[in-house]
Amino acid sequence: MLRLLIIGAHPDDAEFGAGGLIAKYTGAGYAVKAITVTNGNAGHYAVPPADLAKRRHAEARAAADKGGFEIEVWDNPDAQLSPTIEIRGDVIRAMRRFAPDLVLTHRANDYHPDHRATGQLVQDASYLVRVPNLYRDTPPPETRPVVACMTDFFTKPNPFQPDVTVETTDQIDKVVAMLACHVSQVFENMPESRGEIGNVPQHEDERLAWLKDFYASRPRAIANRFREALVRDHGERGHTIEFAEAYEISEYGRRPTAEEIDALFLRA
């Protein structure tokens, strides 16, 4: 029995960044939980913050129900996140309570300040989670979890390193079904910000196909960008894998062996 915890800044970050691995975990009957550090209340061009927070909470819940995982949405305001001592305590307690084998988060260099803050919070918690004198109301786990970062394409001060690749070709439809629950984002705010709101189909089936097209460009770009790592991890088959996710192992979590990596990322 494995336990996967995704700590993302916004209510749709887990599905976008790790939807394929989430689907693999739940498909294998393993426990998955997503924590959203902010309530996402800045992420819309028209819906005011209080209404949006409620709406995004419901969307995150629907996506979690669809995907078969647990969700926690924290009430920190969107686009105003700082890596404070208080929130770091919340992250440490949450990691202790869920006792994950693997934690996924953002890297601490990323375009969105909330992603950076969340990456920093988890990076700092990765060591402190095992310090017993901190937060004595919630005892530490026996071993530190392995911590890994979801893919980004930023290069300064250093580019993302694809330590682990996971083929997600069979998971694409499941990820799209989860993402489709985030209506305010995938069918409203994201297309609006790209000037494509007029292209969003109204009919449900066409909407899903449209969303699949949009989402699939990410795992396809990851497969193409990290082709060498795919071949390293999957042999000859790596040359033809179309959709993948890639993860960078954090130096601050437990350092896994090659066998542990295969087990944690369900590549056995």
Residues interacting with Zn ion, by CB under 5 A? 9-10, 13
Count Cα neighbours of 228 within 13 Å in the Cβ-side half-sphere. 3
- For residue 24, the SS3 value is helix
**CB of residue 237 to Zn ion, shortest distance in Å:** 32
**CB of residue 79 to Zn ion, shortest distance in Å:** 10
Distance CA 13, CA 221 (A): 17
Distance CA 21, CA 32 (A): 10
Distance CA 149, CA 116 (A): 11
Of 95, 111, 141, 129, nearest to 9 (Cα)?
Answer: 111
Nearer to Zn ion, 31 or 150 (CB): 150
**CB of residue 18 to Zn ion, shortest distance in Å:** 12
Nearer to Zn ion, 33 or 56 (CB): 56
Nearer to Zn ion, 13 or 188 (CB): 13
Nearer to Zn ion, 79 or 134 (CB): 79
Nearer to Zn ion, 15 or 101 (CB): 15
Query: Using CB atoms, what's the residue nearest to Zn ion?
Result: 10
**CB of residue 231 to Zn ion, shortest distance in Å:** 30
Distance CA 73, CA 77 (A): 11
**CB of residue 8 to Zn ion, shortest distance in Å:** 6
Asked whether the beta carbons of 81 and 9 are under 8 A apart, the reply is yes
Nearer to Zn ion, 10 or 88 (CB): 10
Distance CA 267, CA 257 (A): 14
**CB of residue 135 to Zn ion, shortest distance in Å:** 26
Distance CA 37, CA 105 (A): 11
Q: What is the DSSP string of 215-266?
A: HHHHHHHHHHHTHHHHHHHHGGGGGT---EEEEEE-SSS----HHHHHHHTT
